[in-house]
Amino acid sequence: MRDVARVLFCVALLGACTSGHASGDGRTEGAPELTDTVIQSGLSVPWDVALAPDGRMFVTERMGDILMFESAQPNAKRVATTKVPDVHAMGEAGLMGVTLDPSFGTNGLLYVCASRLDGGEWRNDVLRYKAGADSITFDGDVIRGGPQAAAIHDGCRLRFGPDAKLWVTMGENGNGRLAQDPRRSTGRSSA
């Protein structure tokens, strides 16, 4: 019954979002006009973005690079690039999430999630890096050796909660049963 209610809610929401009147140019009246702005080009499968309090922008590329730009302005100068070691990128796996420490302004710490070959196994690891004015360096800390990686549904999102704990989400590797098993770290969030 909950699933039916959820579907009806989604249908009602979709109807509310599309129930406006179309104008002569095909836009729905009252809908905001959307525009595209290219911030950076020439990136190789960009995956996640984090913005620092001082304006710097950090981007992860699936193949294993962390990029730092001087700002989020269009065509801002790239000031640093670092390669995450042992990244095994395939399908939906590789270097994925990035987030900044709540105290980034004073400690310069950032965290990434990477699908890496670790001891011969393909795993999703959470790693800590330190950003300087023009550098990004690995501080040697693997915050969490993660679950097995996979080419599908491998997503890894990192965010700090209001409790200042690092929250990590993992995909279920294409196996829905894994998301329902509380003994596994795949398909759910953990702090």
Predicted TM-score of the model (pTM): 0.75
> What's the CATH superfamily of 45-190?
TolB, C-terminal domain (2.120.10.30)
Residue 80 neighbours by CB distance under 10 Å:
18
pLDDT, tens digit only, all 191 positions of the chain: 344 334 333 333 344 444 445 555 666 778 888 889 889 999 999 999 999 999 999 999 999 999 999 999 999 999 999 999 888 888 888 899 999 999 999 999 999 998 888 777 788 889 999 999 999 999 777 776 667 766 666 778 889 999 999 988 877 666 666 666 556 555 444 54
Closest by Cα among 141, 93, 135 to 114:
93
Q: What are phi and psi of 8, to 5 degrees?
A: -60, -40
Domain map (residue ranges) of the chain: 45-190
